[in-house]
Amino acid sequence: MDIKNRILEIVPEAEFSENGSLVAIVPSSNLYTLAKRLKNDEDTSFDYLLSLTGMDFGDSLGVIYHLESTKYGHMIVLQTSTNDKDKPELYSVSDIWKGANINEREAYDFFGIRFINHPDMRRIFLRDDWVGFPLRKDYNDELNPLRMTNEVTEDMTQELTLDKDGTFTNKENIIFDDQEYVINIGPQHPATHGVLRFRTSLQGETIKKIEPYCGYIHRGIEKMCESLTYPQTLALTDRLDYLSCHQSRHALCMCIEKAIGVEIPERVQYIRTIMDELQRIDSHLLFYSCLCMDLGALTAFFYGFRDREKILDIFENTTGGRLIQNYNVIGGVQADLHPNFVKDVKEFSSYMRKILKEYHDIFTGNIIAQQRLKDVGVLSREDAISFGATGGTGRASGWACDTRKRKPYGVYDKVSFKEIVYNEGDSFARYMVRMDEIVESLNIIDQLIDNIPEGEYQVKMKPIIRIPEGKYFASVESSRGEFGVFIDSRGDKSPYRMKFRATGLPLVAAVDTITSGGKIADLIAIGGTLDYIIPEIDR
Amino acid sequence: MNSFFKYFHSLFSGILTLLIGMKTSMKVFLRKKVTEKYPENRDTLKISDRFRGTLVMPHDTENHHKCVACGICQISCPNGSIVVHFDTVVSEDGKKSKVLTNYEYDLGNCMYCQLCVNTCPHDAICFDNSFEHAVFSREKLIKKLNREGSTLVKK
Amino acid sequence: MFDFSIVSSWIHNLLTGVMPEFWAIFLECLAIGIGILLFYAVLAIILIYMERKVCGFFQCRIGPDRVGKFGIFQLFADVIKMLIKEIISLKNSDKFLYALAPFIVIIASILAFSTIQINKGMEIIDFNVGIVFYMAATSLGVLGILLAGWSSNSKFTMISAMRSGAQIISYELSVGLSLLTVVVFTGTLQFSEIIQSQADGWLIFKGHIPVWIAFIIYLIAGNAETNRGPFDLPEAESELTAGYHTEYSGMHFGFFYLSEYLNLFIVAAIAATVFLGGWMPLHISGLDGFNAIMDYIPGFIWFFGKAFFVVFLLMWIRWTFPRLRIDQLLKLEWKILVPIGLFNLALMILVVVFKLHF
């Protein structure tokens, strides 16, 4: 089926550009209808909103939607814009895809685009008293000195509604009313794994509603990237999700390499794939540790950290870093593998397979752990797709969303591995997906480690890298979901707009849905099994 | 009767899983510990030679370095941790050349991305393994990498 | 077998020789009071050190290692640190109750502590309803916890206090039932007589199945009563940060901390006394020579050996299991421990009536 004709059928005014990827440019008035049709029509069924990117095109503000169908696997990019830069208003798609809600708040925060019919039009990362919208090209930074006053948390939120007769009204929605028992879980809380804040409304021990507040570690990485050269932007990806820095950097390198059309040597592909999988094990071990700690099993926490240390040692030998690896570069990797790498990895692989049994003995099988996790925080498959909750969370809900299988990159098409999918959607399934993935990652590594081809570890690149004009997108399976990089290039040595698809943002958006009706202790278990990393959410 | 059986079955299987857990933790209790005693084991501490500790400018025995003060490292640094101070000297045959006076490196700002080392055309700088950076004030983190009186190595 | 009452009566005679009996008893009470406080503090230090070491060993590490050889002075450093810390007063808190709460907790703990018998004749409170007194004293502690949680004027501590109340009051029942089982067997509520009745074999051997069940129930319920993992819900650090003592600092926090460890010891000591014979050496009827050798080992060594064995058992449990959820915790008590405890009590009565014990 030709998606292009299909879009033209629905919106005859649509235009197409094919720089980098196929983009359908749609007038803002038609976008909502088109999006709804694309999602609901049986033959298109774009049910997964991969990414929603706010854009400043210079003379207009707009949004780029990356859509994908979980049924057919096809993709389309929609673009819409408004010329009114003083009062930019676009139609919200948050009732079509649940994940759009939080992403549209991000677009509002950075570009000031107000989404019509969006129920909760507040800033998400920045303070409410922030002046201006930072990712706009005409943004004046001097208006925002470091503020020393407290930020007031509002219990009200704005909604811009379009009535039937075509008039806009500002509506105020209540988040929490005065009578509710609201506690702050976070930003400084042992179980939020970073500076994330949940305002939680309680009824006794039972959770009524959760409102996530992000942005405590927002560093404006996307804005910074706009003024950095491409090699310089690489250093920032390691600081997004520090437990999948190889993968995030792999995504960015892949996107740039695809855009400039470099052929990557086979050896590099192998090295990158092995490193990605080691990183995945590293991340899942930390996941295990932190989940155990959240549930009070402090001893199991140390087991994970003890064995993670071995991976870090392997990393340190080859990449020179333990947490911030700095390994992938455009056109290859920073340095060749350490002479001991193969031996160390093999040793680790056999050790890890043996020691995993202990993990299961002390925690997985434990009746208390099972009771804490089973049937707790069920996320249905539909919700997982609608929120865009990829990674282990999506796979635990029965959504086979592994990017390694869907859009193979690296040498994932050359290895055989199982995509772990559970159908329960509860915390225990989310936990088991990750534990089983450790074994699958070991299988992948075992298949590759003996066959690393000889050759160059780096392609010589030009000193100044320029990407031809166009829009590029590449995604990898990071440790906790589909991590995507979107680059809009105008042919300069630095990107015009760079957007990272955060794997954690949909998870945070889904917390309220997953948790409601659970206990406080369930929130902790759910937070642990969702396995989000705050720096990546806040960027 | 069935529910009665189920009650006891779940009770005993539950107790069994607890005992398995206790067995495992006791096994680890008796195992060798993995703690590293850091300040004492400085001599035996193994750090990869690729580890990025501090940016240094290697000098040879005659106090020569390789930096020609071209400033590429300064340009490629993403957050301005490097400032290359130089004098412009006119040699006898009228050629202008840059001479390094102060290679200023702000350790507190560095994010160890290695771009400076990668882009340096003369391999004048590299990372070494020293990682004990703690000092009492930020000013002390701003370092001068070229030694006093050092000059460019002669070709 | 060394009898400590010789020493105490000698001191008493000495004092009554030089002063009227009132002042003699007054001085003795004073000495005992100071002694008990000192002993309490020293035990707490030993227990905290032990906990940190044992916990470290379970977690593939070596625990405190810096202050002194093997870190033995670590706790003294911690005590000094805690003593010089500022006690913070909170806005909008109930100042009086806020200050009172840690004292209630520690007084309850010391009261329960004084029922422990360390050696033959070395007892402070020993009267005919000793077990009832012990139960009353331990259940006083929950009052302090509730007050602490409520008076701090914080939502987290409030939730913690409510959890704690529900938990401790529920588990009191199981402790009572398991101790009652023993009382049925020995026919006395007095600790010294319970120990005396174990002269020909500890209860855990004499009473077989019902006593084993009671022992396990007691350990679980006792653990829950002291708010230790896997029942540390009131201070579940990943849920409620530090629970009811979140807002406390300095020595006020220190009191909670001390009492937590001492309660652990008290539970272990009572378990050792009631089920494992207290200071009573291991006697096997028929082997007189063996019994005589065992008698040479002083009673307090037997007592501490047993108590610390139980303490280690409790630590082992704590450092292995994840934490329960509040509804599971109450389910465990009301649907499992209480029915089994009641059934066990009936079983014990049958055993006693039909003389099925050793």
Model ipTM? Answer: 0.83
pLDDT bin (cut points 50, 70, 90) of residue B155 is low
Buried b / exposed e along A47-62 (16+ C-beta atoms within 10 A)? bbbbbbbbbbeeeebb
Task: Give yes or no for A21 touching C (CB within 8 A).
Answer: no
- The DSSP secondary-structure symbol of A20 reads B
Which phi and psi angles does C133 have, rounded to 5°?
-60, -45
* CB A359 within 8 Å of CB A300: yes
Dist. CA A224–CA A227, nearest whole Å: 6
Picking from B22, B34, B35, the nearest residue to C316 by CB comes out as B22
Dist. CA A116–CA A93, nearest whole Å: 9
CATH 3.30.70.3270 at B54-152, yes or no: yes
Per the listing, tokens 């189920």 go with: B6
What pLDDT is recorded for position C295?
74
Residue % of chain A over a pLDDT of 90: 0
What pLDDT is recorded for position B118?
85
3-class secondary-structure state, position B118? helix
How many Cβ atoms from other residues are within 10 Å of residue B71's Cβ? Answer: 14
Domain ranges of chain C: 86-353
Domain ranges of chain A: 3-175, 221-538
Q: Where are the beta strands (DSSP E) in chain B?
A: 54-56, 64-65, 82-90, 96-106, 126-128, 142-144, 151-152
- DSSP state letters, A290-308: HHHHHTT-HHHHHHHHHHH
Picking from A309, A326, A370, the nearest residue to B113 by CB comes out as A326
Beta bridge partners of A203: A206
Residue C228, CB-side half-sphere exposure with 13 Å CA sphere = 27
Dist. CA C336–CA C330, nearest whole Å: 9
Picking from B25, B31, B37, the nearest residue to C320 by CB comes out as B25
Please check the confidence at residue A505 and state whether its pLDDT lies above 80: yes
Task: Give yes or no for B1 touching A (CB within 8 A).
Answer: no
With contact defined as 3+ CB pairs under 8 Å, the chains touching C are: A, B
Closest CA to B58 of B114, B128, B121, B111: B128
Dist. CA A247–CA A283, nearest whole Å: 11
Which phi and psi angles does A177 have, rounded to 5°?
-90, 175
Would strands A75-82 and A23-25 be described as parallel, antiparallel, or unpaired? parallel
What count of CB pairs under 8 Å joins A to C? 83
Please check the confidence at residue B112 and state whether its pLDDT lies above 80: yes
* CB A391 within 8 Å of CB A478: yes
Which residue in B22, B48, B109, B126 has the most chain A C-beta atoms within 10 A of its own C-beta, making it the best mutation to test that interface? B48
* CB B81 within 8 Å of CB A205: no
Which phi and psi angles does A159 have, rounded to 5°?
-135, 135
Reported as a single tens digit per residue, the pLDDT across C306-345 is 888 888 888 888 888 888 888 888 888 888 888 888 888 8
* CB C245 within 8 Å of CB C255: no
Residue % of chain A over a pLDDT of 70: 100
| Amino acid, res. A371 | Q
What pLDDT is recorded for position C2?
67
* CB A201 within 8 Å of CB A182: yes
- Cβ–Cβ of C328/A371 closer than 8 Å? yes
- Cβ–Cβ of A519/C59 closer than 8 Å? no
Dist. CA A282–CA A308, nearest whole Å: 6
Dist. CA C173–CA C325, nearest whole Å: 19
* CB A50 within 8 Å of CB A388: yes
What residues in A contact B111, CB-CB < 8 Å?
A: 235, 239, 324
* CB C78 within 8 Å of CB C85: no
- DSSP state letters, C72-139: TTHHHHHHHHHHTS--PPPTTS-HHHHHHHHHHHHHHHHHHHTT---BTTB-SS--TTHHHHHHHHHH
The residue of chain B with its CA nearest to that of A322 is B51
Dist. CA A277–CA A255, nearest whole Å: 19
Domain ranges of chain B: 54-152
3-class secondary-structure state, position C336? helix
- DSSP state letters, B1-20: -HHHHHHHHHHHHHHHHHHH
Task: Give yes or no for C52 touching A (CB within 8 A).
Answer: no
Look up residue B122 and give its two tokens: 């003369």
* Count of residues making up chain C: 358
Reported as a single tens digit per residue, the pLDDT across A512-532 is 888 878 888 888 888 888 888
Picking from A231, A303, A365, the nearest residue to B20 by CB comes out as A365
| Amino acid, res. C5 | S
What residues in C contact B26, CB-CB < 8 Å?
A: 316
pLDDT bin (cut points 50, 70, 90) of residue A402 is confident
Picking from A231, A317, A320, the nearest residue to B52 by CB comes out as A320
The residue of chain C with its CA nearest to that of B39 is C66
What residues in B contact C316, CB-CB < 8 Å?
A: 22, 25-26, 29
pLDDT bin (cut points 50, 70, 90) of residue B141 is confident
Dist. CA A402–CA A408, nearest whole Å: 9
H helices of A263-377, in order, are 266-294, 298-319, 341-359, 367-373
Dist. CA A114–CA C246, nearest whole Å: 42
The H or E element that residue A28 is part of is helix A28-40
In chain C, residues 331-350 whose CB comes closer than 8 Å to chain B: 336
pLDDT bin (cut points 50, 70, 90) of residue B1 is low
Task: Give yes or no for C61 touching B (CB within 8 A).
Answer: yes
Beta bridge partners of B143: B105
Picking from C60, C317, C320, the nearest residue to B33 by CB comes out as C60
Q: How far is B120 from chain A (nearest CA, A)?
A: 11
* CB C163 within 8 Å of CB C224: no
* CB A390 within 8 Å of CB A482: yes
**Average model confidence (pLDDT) across chain A:** 85
H helices of chain C, in order, are 5-18, 21-58, 74-83, 95-113, 130-151, 155-186, 191-196, 203-206, 208-225, 237-240, 250-275, 288-296, 299-318, 326-331, 338-353
What pLDDT is recorded for position A20?
66
What residues in C contact A191, CB-CB < 8 Å?
A: 238-239
Dist. CA A369–CA A359, nearest whole Å: 12
What residues in B contact A231, CB-CB < 8 Å?
A: 76, 115
Per the listing, tokens 């002083």 go with: C298
pLDDT bin (cut points 50, 70, 90) of residue A1 is low
Closest CA to A400 of A341, A482, A465: A482
The H or E element that residue A174 is part of is strand A168-174
Q: Of the given ranges (A419-423, B97-101, C238-242, C332-336), which has the lowest mean pLDDT? A: C238-242
* CB C236 within 8 Å of CB C79: no
Dist. CA C326–CA C332, nearest whole Å: 10
- Cβ–Cβ of C156/A190 closer than 8 Å? no
What pLDDT is recorded for position A161?
77
Out of 3.30.2350.10, 3.90.1150.10, 3.30.70.2190, 3.30.460.80, the CATH code matching A3-175 is 3.30.460.80
- Cβ–Cβ of A361/B23 closer than 8 Å? yes
Would strands A181-185 and A168-174 be described as parallel, antiparallel, or unpaired? unpaired
Q: How far is B38 from chain C (nearest CA, A)?
A: 11
Dist. CA B133–CA B52, nearest whole Å: 12
| Amino acid, res. A374 | K
Task: Give yes or no for C328 touching B (CB within 8 A).
Answer: no
Dist. CA A474–CA A487, nearest whole Å: 9
- Cβ–Cβ of B114/A338 closer than 8 Å? no
Alpha carbon of residue C18 to chain centroid:
38
- Cβ–Cβ of B52/A321 closer than 8 Å? yes
CATH homologous superfamily of domain A221-538? Answer: Cytochrome-c3 Hydrogenase, chain B (1.10.645.10)
Which residue in C55, C60, C70 has the most chain B C-beta atoms within 10 A of its own C-beta, making it the best mutation to test that interface? C60
Closest CA to C177 of C352, C4, C336: C336
The residue of chain B with its CA nearest to that of A315 is B48
Q: How far is B13 from chain C (nearest CA, A)?
A: 14
Reported as a single tens digit per residue, the pLDDT across A336-383 is 888 888 888 888 888 988 888 888 888 888 888 888 888 888 888 888
Residues of chain C with pLDDT under 50: none
Dist. CA C78–CA C38, nearest whole Å: 17
Dist. CA C122–CA C192, nearest whole Å: 10
What pLDDT is recorded for position A379?
87
The H helix count followed by the E strand count for chain A is 17, 17
Instruction: Tell me the mean pLDDT in the region A475-491.
Output: 86
Dist. CA A342–CA A318, nearest whole Å: 11
The residue of chain C with its CA nearest to that of B35 is C61
